[in-house]
Amino acid sequence: MSSPLLEVRDLRTQFTTREGVVKAVDGVSFELHAGETLGIVGESGCGKSVTALSIMRLVPRPGRIVGGQVLFEGRDLAKLSDAQMQEVRGESIAMIFQDPMTSLNPVFRVGWQVSEPLLLHRALPQAKALGEATTMLGRVGIPSPEARARDYPHHFSGGMRQRAMIAMGLTTTPPVLIADEPTTALDVTIQAQILDLLRNANREFGTATILITHNLGVVAGMCERVMVMYAGRIVESGPTVDVFAHPKHPYTWSLLRSIPRLDAERHEPLKPIEGMPPDLSALPAGCAFHPRCPFKIERCSRDVPALNRVGESQLAACWVTQSGVELKDA
C-alpha cells in the first residue's frame, strides 16, 4: 500500500474553560489515502468537527492542539509557521462548512469569492481567476454561471451557496477536501445533489475527501471507509461495508439500530440509545460509552480500551468484542 496522503497521529485538542479542561479530541489517529473517501460519524459534540478544524489548525479559542502530529505528504502541519500554514490551507487542503447561508461573505459577488483561492495561491490576474471561477461554478451545476458569478450571496439559495462553496474549495484542485456536515443545513433533495457533486469531484479531480456527518445513510452511500467517534475518540473504524454489516463496537451497533430501515418489519419500533453523550470535561472512568452500553462487563468501567484489530479489517475500542463476543440483540 502506498504511503498515506494525510496521516493523523495521536491528535489531542483541548479547550480550557472555567469548568475544566474539555478533551474535544483525545488521541485520534487515522490515515487518508489519495482519492479515498473517509467518513467520520458520531453524535453532536463527539469531536468530529474539532478533528477537522485541528487538521486545518483553525480551532477557535480557547481550543488548543496539545499533542500529536498531522502529517500531510510527510510534513507535520502542527509544526508549520502561520505563514506556511496559510499556504497549505486552500491549496493542499480545502474545507467546506456546514452552514452555506453564512459561509459566504455577504458584501462580495459570488464569482469574486470563488476566485479568491486562485488569487491567494496562484497570483492569477483578477480577470483570469474570475474566468476560472466561473468555469468552476458551471461545473458544480450552477446554471448560467457567467450571470450568476455577478450575483451576491443573498441571491443564491442554500443549495446553490453550498455548490458555490464546493466550487471555491475545488478551484485550486486540492488533494484533500474536508466536508464538515455539508448537507446538514439543506433539504433532502438538495442533499442528494450535493453528495452527487462531492462524489463526482472525488472521481474527476481525484480529491481525497473526509466527509463529516451524523447521517449514517450518507456514509453508506459515499464512503469507502468510516470512522465512528465517541467522546473525542475513535471507537471503531474500517471499510464501510464491514462496519455496517458487522459493527464491532456497541456504540456503532446501537447507532445502526436507531435508524429506520426499509427492510424492517412493519411497526417495528426504533431503538434509541439510552442516556446522553458524556460531558467531555468529566468523562467516566474506563470506556466513555460504558454507562450507556448494553454489553458492558466489569472491566469496561475500569480500563480504557485501545483501538485494536477485531475481525478482518476493522478496528474497535471495546473489551467485549476484543474478547471475541458477537454483538446481538438481548
Partner 1 sequence: MITPLPIDVPEAPAPAAPGRTARGYWQEASERLRRNRIGVASGLVLLFFVLVAITSPLLAALFTQADPRHIDLLNTFLPPLSPHHILGTDDLGRDELTRMLYGAQVSMGIGFLSVGVALTVGAAVGLVAGYYGGLIDGLLMRFVDMILAVPAIFLFILMSILFKPNTITLALIIASVGWGSIARLVRGEVLSVRTREFMVATRSLGASDAGLILRHLLPNVLHVLIVFGSLYLGQVVLIEAALDFLGLGISPATPSWGNMLTNSETFFFHSSWLVIWPGVTIFVTVLAANLFGNAIRDAFDPRLR
Residues that bind partner 1 (CB under 8 A): 53, 56, 58, 60-61, 83, 86-91, 94-95, 97-99, 102-109, 116-117, 120-121, 135, 138-141, 143-144, 147, 150-152, 155, 165, 168, 193, 196-197, 200-201, 204
Place of cell 477536501: 177
Place of cell 495561491: 121
Considering beta carbons, is residue 57 or 257 the nearer one to partner 1? Answer: 57
d(CA 233, CA 303): 15
Considering beta carbons, is residue 185 or 318 the nearer one to partner 1? Answer: 185
Considering beta carbons, is residue 174 or 305 the nearer one to partner 1? Answer: 174
Dihedrals phi, psi of 7, to nearest 5 degrees: -130, 120
Question: Which secondary structure element, helix H or strand E, spans residue 49, and what is its range?
Answer: helix 48-56
Considering beta carbons, is residue 198 or 223 the nearer one to partner 1? Answer: 198
9 strand-pairing partners: 69
Beta carbon of residue 106, minimum distance to partner 1 (angstroms, whole number): 7
Q: Which three cell numbers stand for residue 271?
A: 431503538
71 strand-pairing partners: 7, 76
Distances, alpha carbon 176 to alpha carbons 54, 105, 124, 235, 274, in Å: 14, 23, 22, 24, 36
- Please say whether the beta carbons of 305 and 317 come within 8 A: yes
Considering beta carbons, is residue 126 or 323 the nearer one to partner 1? Answer: 126
Beta carbon of residue 231, minimum distance to partner 1 (angstroms, whole number): 24
6 strand-pairing partners: 32, 72
Beta carbon of residue 221, minimum distance to partner 1 (angstroms, whole number): 15
Considering beta carbons, is residue 31 or 116 the nearer one to partner 1? Answer: 116
- Please say whether the beta carbons of 319 and 299 come within 8 A: yes
Beta carbon of residue 149, minimum distance to partner 1 (angstroms, whole number): 9
Distances, alpha carbon 182 to alpha carbons 162, 186, 192, in Å: 7, 8, 11
Of 259, 243, 255, the closest CA to residue 316 belongs to 243
d(CA 223, CA 220): 6
CA 126 to chain CA mean position, Å? 32
Beta carbon of residue 85, minimum distance to partner 1 (angstroms, whole number): 8
Considering beta carbons, is residue 107 or 330 the nearer one to partner 1? Answer: 107
Beta carbon of residue 110, minimum distance to partner 1 (angstroms, whole number): 9
Of 119, 136, 107, 128, the closest CA to residue 148 belongs to 136
Considering beta carbons, is residue 95 or 255 the nearer one to partner 1? Answer: 95
Beta carbon of residue 151, minimum distance to partner 1 (angstroms, whole number): 4
Beta carbon of residue 140, minimum distance to partner 1 (angstroms, whole number): 7
